[in-house]
Structure 1
Amino acid sequence: MTGLFSSDAQVLVIGANHRSSSLALRDRLFLDEPEVIPFLDKLKDQGVEQCLVVSTCDRVEVHCVDHDLKKAREIIVGVLAERAELDIPTIEGQLYFYQAEEAVRHIFRVASSLDSLMVGEPQVVGQVKDAHRLAVESGSVGAELERIFQAAYATAKKVRSETAVGERPVSIASVAVQIAKELHGDLSRCKGLLIGAGDMGELTAQNLIETGLKDFTCIHSFGGRAKMIARHLSCHFGEFDNRDRLACEADIILTSMNKRTRVVSKEMVEFALKVRKNKPIFIIDTGIPGDVDPGVNDVDGAFLYDLHDLEQVAMEGRASREAEARAASSILEKELTGFLKGKEERGAVPLVSALREHFEKERQSVLATHGDDAEKATRLLINRLLHSPSEELRNLAAMKKKKEWNKTSELITDLFLKEK
């Protein structure tokens, strides 16, 4: 597919997510909300026509529409490299690139939470809408990009309403809340600590807060992420280096670093329990891979649950989840096909309009001179409308180019000579 829009503008997605890049790179690329509009302004100033940036805990990616994708790609990669303070070859190896149909499919998948670390995370579409809102405010969203995102939201809504793909993360978060209540009772008297900023961790934290946990603190090795989550959850944020002290105060520790390193050690938990005089700690590890030393399972007073443990309680087997994911993907592909077909059909609008305008002009001219004689007027109108096409067809036949003639002949037959 060479063109999605009548103007020959194309769609491009460039980004880094939990599959393509290291957490260290995503931390360097991460944009807090006040930084988004200046970032978009920089892209526009350098020549990118339409653009939007999605910056979350698990991904940073730029969506754009431009007439020159090569130019747009060079600009975007350059600005991302500048943001990360890395050279272009170093950063390019950790980026993914989608264009045309694949770019639209990716946007649909992101909005529908089918591209997430945990498929079905309900807050993803809200994050995309926040990114969209900021791009609109910056004046960097044109008609083409707007149509794509409206179609993506409609697809996300259909996926969520017609499948159970979103039930898994919600159920896991609900189970975590239930276990916390069974262990600690009234959560309003408890303190919570979130280490990290993954979407599943944020969802679980939100559920705990909504259930009554009022004293909640977020920390992250990258301070900007802790502040962002704290703003979303309306809670406190602290220094990552103070996590040992904060763990001593926390009744519930929630981890979501996804960093392939253990941010909560057995020794850390043992020390916290000693300071707390063995008052129990509920530890929820939502990291993929895990953030908590498995040795914590052997510590009396520490109750460690990872995603697998919570899921065992929340759901009945893996087969049902995969079936829902397949159903969601099927819906997405159907919506994508309809969207792309509509784009191609809109490409014919200018030509159809010009044709109608030409025909109407000839009709008015004939009526002005022979409007009182219907037979003469209609015969003259047909002769005028067919004069130029007839000349072109005769010229094409005289050139003896069989391939072009057959193609034109089939098109004329399909357009005008088929029986209705």
Structure 2
Amino acid sequence: MSYLIISFSHKNTDIEMREKLAFGSDEDKDRFIRSILSNNVTKEAVLLSTCNRVEIITRSINIKSGAKLILEELAKYSGVDYALLYKRADIYDNDSAVHHIFSVASALDSLVIGETQIVGQLKDAFRFSQSKGHCSQKITRLMHFAFKCAATVRNATSLGTGSVSVASTAVAKAKDIIKDTCGVKALVIGAGEMSELTIKHLLSSGFDVILTSRDIKKAQNLANTFEQNVDVAPYENLTSLLGQIPVMITATSAPYPIITSDNTPDANFNRYWFDIAVPRDIDDIDKSGLNIYSVDDLQDIVNENMSLRAEQAKTAYSIVSKMSLEFYDWLKSLDIEPVVKTLYTKADDVIEKKVQHAIKKGFIKQEDEENIRKLCQTVITEYLHAPSKKLKSISKNMECDIVVGTIQNMFTSNSDEDSEQYKCEHLSKK
């Protein structure tokens, strides 16, 4: 049984393809995960879909077949040709899969290195799969350690500090263009988490913020969370607002462009629009003085961000590599503990059976039962001490799987697949 991850991100796909691959609703995610689990090759799955990536994190009984079946289902969902998906996809298995997801969780694979949203998005994706019964022990263990790795990177480096999200990068670009932002209005479309971050950075950069959303109540509630004033405008005024305000940042979850040539008025001043949604909110529009930036167009600031964080990233990658190795050591130790426990449990069963038999036959007196049992347990403990210690040391060696498998076949039950789901202590932490 192997870990298999199929990854599409800003590194291997352009925004047009990422739009087609994006999953806009929980229903779409659930339907897709069910489809890949129905092939009996993929046993567990988590689907992460953000503005910059789609990660399909699975446990598979066959890497080659599993990857092929998943890409076929993805081709059906997205309408992208299978051959093109296969050509673009980054496919990771086992060691490389573990290293990759640890890097993703630690924000080292992000468009903006160190951005703080990705680990929360990964936790949300994991929670969703758990709630639907799409993942169990093996994926839970992987996610547990990925979140642990992300926390270690965050604590050991400064990558998680400062303005390091796509939203903050868009605002930084706007500020760089406008220069003096005092009194300059900026329109934010959408009332979700990304819009909240955008407003936060716009306010700290000196912009006057106007917020609009189809859900005016949600927009007003969001505006009320800020100490500084955020005006809320009716969504039906969108066209008028687009013709009056120089800076606009949109981050809705609409499955199609909400801003087109039809609702974009002309203006006699320069406008700077930032589309940080995937799928994109802004259609291809050609108007004088209108400058449109998508997430891919923010690469210049991203590159500067990466150069400033290069040394910190080296430290972070060394942590990821170290913890990837620790993960497998940990997995092996988890396999060893039940084996050792079962050896002692079965020995206790034999002691109980033999003591009761001896009493029944009159070999020992009833009043000596407790002392005889203690003596037997002392003998077994001493007898199993060396083998138990040896087993725990073997967990760090290459032959671990063979030895554990042999002992399990001799003394223990089949598999741990039906055991209680491993709980992730890092899941509740943001």
Give the TM interval when normalised to the shorter protein: 0.5 to 0.7
Aligned-pair identity (%): 22
Q: State the AA in 2 paired with 1:78.
A: E
Give 1:285-296 correspondences, 5 Å limit. Answer: 287-288=295-296
Taking a change above 3 Å as real, the CA distance of residues 190 and 60 of structure 1, as seen in their structure-2 partners, is closer
Give 1:5-24 correspondences, 5 Å limit. Answer: 9-24=1-16
Larger Rg: 1
Given the alignment of the two structures, is residue 81 of structure 1 paired with residue 75 of structure 2, yes or no?
yes
Partner of 1:245: 265
Task: Choose which of 100, 103, 107 in structure 2 pairs with 1:109.
Answer: 103
Q: State the AA in 2 paired with 1:45.
A: S
Residue 359 of structure 1 and its aligned partner are, at CA, apart by 1.9
Partner of 1:230: 252
> In structure 2, how many angstroms separate the alpha carbons of the residues matched to 1:21 and 1:116?
13
Partner of 1:64: 58
> In structure 1, how many angstroms separate the alpha carbons of the residues matched to 2:47 and 2:70?
11
Q: State the AA in 2 paired with 1:352.
A: V
- 1:49 is paired with a residue whose SS is strand
| 8 Å contact from structure 2 (residues 194, 251) kept in 1 | no
Partner of 1:358: 346
Task: Choose which of 329, 332, 338 in structure 2 pairs with 1:344.
Answer: 332
| 8 Å contact from structure 1 (residues 119, 165) kept in 2 | yes
Residue deviations 1:231-277, cap 9 Å, x none? Answer: 59xxx972344585387788542255999xxx999x8443x5xxxxx
Taking a change above 3 Å as real, the CA distance of residues 78 and 379 of structure 1, as seen in their structure-2 partners, is closer
Given the alignment of the two structures, is residue 214 of structure 1 paired with residue 183 of structure 2, yes or no?
no
**More deviation, 162-171/343-352:** 162-171
Partner of 2:410: none
Q: State the AA in 1 paired with 2:43.
A: E
| 8 Å contact from structure 2 (residues 251, 276) kept in 1 | no
Partner of 1:185: 182
- 2:209 is paired with a residue whose SS is coil
Residue deviations 1:196-249, cap 9 Å, x none? Answer: xxx999965662278652246899xxxxxxxx93159xxx97234458538778
> In structure 2, how many angstroms separate the alpha carbons of the residues matched to 1:116 and 1:160?
14
> In structure 2, how many angstroms separate the alpha carbons of the residues matched to 1:182 and 1:57?
28
Partner of 1:169: 164
> In structure 2, how many angstroms separate the alpha carbons of the residues matched to 1:255 and 1:42?
32
Residue 343 of structure 1 and its aligned partner are, at CA, apart by 0.6
Partner of 2:395: none
Provide the TM-score with structure 2 as the length reference.
Answer: 0.62
Task: Choose which of 39, 52, 74 in structure 1 pairs with 2:46.
Answer: 52
> In structure 1, how many angstroms separate the alpha carbons of the residues matched to 2:199 and 2:45?
32
Residue deviations 1:26-78, cap 9 Å, x none? Answer: 22221112321111122223333211111122211211123343443232121
> In structure 2, how many angstroms separate the alpha carbons of the residues matched to 1:135 and 1:124?
17
Length, aligned pairs only: 328
> In structure 2, how many angstroms separate the alpha carbons of the residues matched to 1:379 and 1:75?
53
CA RMSD of aligned residues (A): 4.6
| 8 Å contact from structure 2 (residues 36, 70) kept in 1 | yes
Given the alignment of the two structures, is residue 96 of structure 1 paired with residue 90 of structure 2, yes or no?
yes
> In structure 2, how many angstroms separate the alpha carbons of the residues matched to 1:337 and 1:360?
36
Q: State the AA in 2 paired with 1:331.
A: I
Taking a change above 3 Å as real, the CA distance of residues 362 and 190 of structure 1, as seen in their structure-2 partners, is closer
Residue 357 of structure 1 and its aligned partner are, at CA, apart by 2.2
Residue 360 of structure 1 and its aligned partner are, at CA, apart by 1.6
- 2:48 is paired with a residue whose SS is strand
> Relative to total residues, which structure has the larger helix share, 1 or 2?
1
| 8 Å contact from structure 1 (residues 118, 200) kept in 2 | no
Residue 361 of structure 1 and its aligned partner are, at CA, apart by 2.6
Partner of 1:333: 321
| 8 Å contact from structure 1 (residues 113, 122) kept in 2 | yes
Q: Which runs of 5+ in 1 are unaligned?
A: 1-8, 220-227, 273-282, 292-305, 390-406, 409-420
- 1:347 is paired with a residue whose SS is helix
Taking a change above 3 Å as real, the CA distance of residues 209 and 243 of structure 1, as seen in their structure-2 partners, is farther
> In structure 2, how many angstroms separate the alpha carbons of the residues matched to 1:173 and 1:87?
32
> In structure 2, how many angstroms separate the alpha carbons of the residues matched to 1:379 and 1:213?
74
Partner of 1:418: none
Provide the TM-score with structure 1 as the length reference.
Answer: 0.63
Taking a change above 3 Å as real, the CA distance of residues 200 and 176 of structure 1, as seen in their structure-2 partners, is farther
> In structure 2, how many angstroms separate the alpha carbons of the residues matched to 1:164 and 1:38?
39
Partner of 1:153: 147
Taking a change above 3 Å as real, the CA distance of residues 355 and 229 of structure 1, as seen in their structure-2 partners, is same
Taking a change above 3 Å as real, the CA distance of residues 206 and 49 of structure 1, as seen in their structure-2 partners, is farther
> In structure 1, how many angstroms separate the alpha carbons of the residues matched to 2:65 and 2:86?
15
| 8 Å contact from structure 2 (residues 7, 91) kept in 1 | yes
> In structure 2, how many angstroms separate the alpha carbons of the residues matched to 1:380 and 1:185?
79
